[in-house]
């Protein structure tokens, strides 16, 4: 049987905070620690503190945008924070983390081989959790899949508090600011994932006619991308320059559908450029249809417990833990109403331990589709007996 517990701390020195949070998450036969912490901490010291409390237990995690949520509420602040979810019992785990070096796909493959070796297994896992620095997530994922095949995925990209690149990844192999870490999970316990943007589709649809690199959307229907987006929304392009675009699109991003229409993966426009192109937070391809999506802040808040309820409906056994990945951009849009999210999640989770982090990219899948990386999304995962 699986068992789980969470712990959190804020305001303590980094090593003490890591130790206090891990020590509070008491489980039988601990097998894996998910850890999400503050960029204001020395993350290596946080990792050392976790090791003080839970020596030898594999760890995977990253820095989280402004805070985390547990049953104790929103935990954050300028003096540092950490939240952990510890799983124990019916679980075998292999964790590996690698800094970026050369080709990202090859790095992903090396991480997969290292995680298999750490577990002492050669068979594909039942599930995998990935964390990565923003920028090469899709390519790291291809490398993992080259080794173990299409294994169900959950996780998210490291975040900081200001989109300045201060984010960190942490794993049993150490801390890095750029790279990937993966946890392979072998278990007979029930695991389920709900991956959604929870936005409404509008009638504003266009074809991507030019992309620069993988993430700069240059043209929609042959027009400069920012100009096309502004025409849809009635905005002025000079009001969508720089990071003003990121803020404006939290409640009105772009989406791309999977081939069956089961998933709309959100593509968050992040930066408006002087040439009226826009930088996205995830990859996009020429010839893709993009849809302008909509939500309100109220709906962003309401989607959190609604998505957790959907996850609960997919679990047939007794829930043991919820691992909740929530986009940092959505959290920024929710702003000082974040306590409403905490209250809703706590009420919906009941007595089941949960940990919610805030990321700059979210990973999951729907039904028989491919594993997908997106932004402005929720990737909620549940574990059950």
- Cβ 174 vs Cβ 164: under 8 Å: no
Q: Residue 136 contacts by C-beta under 8 Å, 6 or more apart in sequence? A: 100, 104, 180
pLDDT interval class at 369 (50, 70, 90): confident
Q: CA triplet 24, 27, 30: central angle to 5 degrees?
A: 110
Q: Does 368 have pLDDT greater than 80?
A: no
Last residue of a domain, one of 249, 278, 294: 294
Quick one: 122 exposed, middle or buried, by C-beta within 10 A (0-12, 13-18, 19+)? exposed
pLDDT interval class at 331 (50, 70, 90): very high
Last residue of a domain, one of 248, 263, 294: 294
Same domain, yes or no, for 39 and 129? Answer: yes
pLDDT interval class at 207 (50, 70, 90): very high
**HSE-CB of 118 using CA atoms within 13 angstroms:** 28
Distances (CA, A) of 111 to 34, 117, 164, 184: 18, 10, 26, 10
Can you say whether residue 32 is alpha, beta or left, with left for phi > 0 and alpha for psi between -120 and 50 degrees?
Answer: beta
Full residue range of the structural domain in which residue 248 is found:
200-294
Q: Provide the domain count of the chain.
A: 2
Question: For the segment 289-300, what is each residue's pLDDT rounded down to a tens digit?
Answer: 999 999 999 999
Q: How far apart are CA 332 and CA 149, in angstroms?
A: 35
In whole numbers, what is the pLDDT of the chain averaged over residues? 97
Question: For the segment 61-70, what is each residue's pLDDT rounded down to a tens digit?
Answer: 999 999 999 9
- Partners of 86 in the beta sheet? 5, 33
- Decide the pairing of beta strands 30-37 and 59-63: parallel
- Cβ 353 vs Cβ 34: under 8 Å: no
Same domain, yes or no, for 13 and 123? Answer: yes
Q: How far apart are CA 249 and CA 365, in angstroms?
A: 23
Same domain, yes or no, for 168 and 34? Answer: yes
Q: How far apart are CA 167 and CA 39, in angstroms?
A: 6
Report the range of poorest mean pLDDT among 78-87, 140-149, 251-260, 364-373: 364-373
The residue behind tokens 């503190």 is 49
Q: How far apart are CA 241 and CA 277, in angstroms?
A: 10
Question: For the segment 1-31, what is each residue's pLDDT rounded down to a tens digit?
Answer: 999 999 999 999 999 999 999 999 999 999 9
Rounding to the nearest 10 degrees, give the CA dihedral for residues 112, 117, 118, 121: 100
Same domain, yes or no, for 261 and 315? Answer: no
Same domain, yes or no, for 91 and 136? Answer: yes
Closest C-alpha to 321, from 13, 11, 84, 109: 84
Same domain, yes or no, for 123 and 56? Answer: yes
Same domain, yes or no, for 165 and 184? Answer: yes
Q: Which residue intervals of 195-281 are DSSP H helices?
A: 225-233, 244-248
Q: Does 367 have pLDDT greater than 90?
A: no
Q: Does 260 have pLDDT greater than 90?
A: no
Same domain, yes or no, for 72 and 183? Answer: yes
Q: What are the DSSP calls for 159-199, one per residue?
A: --SSSSS---EEETTEEESSEEEEEEEE-SSEEEEEEE--P
pTM of the complete model: 0.97
Same domain, yes or no, for 279 and 332? Answer: no
Q: How far apart are CA 73 and CA 339, in angstroms?
A: 7
Q: How far apart are CA 238 and CA 241, in angstroms?
A: 6
Quick one: 56 exposed, middle or buried, by C-beta within 10 A (0-12, 13-18, 19+)? exposed
Q: Does 362 have pLDDT greater than 80?
A: yes
pLDDT interval class at 189 (50, 70, 90): very high
Q: Does 287 have pLDDT greater than 80?
A: yes
Same domain, yes or no, for 205 and 85? Answer: no
Average pLDDT over residues 250-274: 96
Same domain, yes or no, for 91 and 215? Answer: no
Same domain, yes or no, for 126 and 175? Answer: yes
- Cβ 290 vs Cβ 223: under 8 Å: no
- Decide the pairing of beta strands 254-257 and 81-89: unpaired
pLDDT interval class at 370 (50, 70, 90): confident
Last residue of a domain, one of 294, 320, 341: 294
Distances (CA, A) of 337 to 199, 332, 356: 19, 10, 16
């Amino acid at each position: 049987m699986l068992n789980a517990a969470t712990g959190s701390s804020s305001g303590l020195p980094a090593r003490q905070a890591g130790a206090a949070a891990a020590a509070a998450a008491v489980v039988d036969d601990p097998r894996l620690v998910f850890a999400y912490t503050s960029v204001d901490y020395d993350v290596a010291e946080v990792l050392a503190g976790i090791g003080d409390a839970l020596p030898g237990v594999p760890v995977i995690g990253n820095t989280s945008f402004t805070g985390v949520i547990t049953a104790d509420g929103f935990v954050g602040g300028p003096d540092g924070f950490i939240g952990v979810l510890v799983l124990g019992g019916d679980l075998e785990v292999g964790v590996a983390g690698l800094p970026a070096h050369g080709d990202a796909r090859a790095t992903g493959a090396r991480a997969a081989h290292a995680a298999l070796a750490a577990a002492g297994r050669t068979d594909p896992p039942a599930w995998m959790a990935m964390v990565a620095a923003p920028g090469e997530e899709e390519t790291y994922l291809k490398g993992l899949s080259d080794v173990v095949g299409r294994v169900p995925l959950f996780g998210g990209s490291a975040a900081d508090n200001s989109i300045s690149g201060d984010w960190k990844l942490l794993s049993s192999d150490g801390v890095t600011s750029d790279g990937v870490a993966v946890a392979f999970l072998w278990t007979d316990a029930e695991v389920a994932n709900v991956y959604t943007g929870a936005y409404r589709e509008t009638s504003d649809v266009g074809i991507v006619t030019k992309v620069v690199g993988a993430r700069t959307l240059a043209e929609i229907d042959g027009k400069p991308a920012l100009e096309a987006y502004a025409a849809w929304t009635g905005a002025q392009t000079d009001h969508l320059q720089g990071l003003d675009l990121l803020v404006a699109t939290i409640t009105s991003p772009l989406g791309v559908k999977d081939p069956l229409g089961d998933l709309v993966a959100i593509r968050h426009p992040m930066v408006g450029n002087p040439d009226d192109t826009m930088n996205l937070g995830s990859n996009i391809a020429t010839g893709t249809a993009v849809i302008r999506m909509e939500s309100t802040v109220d709906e962003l808040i309401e989607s959190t417990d609604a998505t957790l309820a959907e996850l609960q409906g997919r679990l047939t056994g007794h829930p043991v833990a919820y691992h909740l990945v929530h986009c940092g951009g959505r959290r920024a849009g929710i702003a000082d109403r974040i306590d409403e999210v905490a209250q809703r999640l706590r009420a919906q989770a009941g007595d089941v331990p949960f940990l919610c982090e805030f990321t700059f990219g979210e990973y999951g899948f729907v039904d028989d589709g491919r594993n997908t990386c997106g932004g402005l999304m929720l990737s909620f995962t549940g574990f059950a007996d």
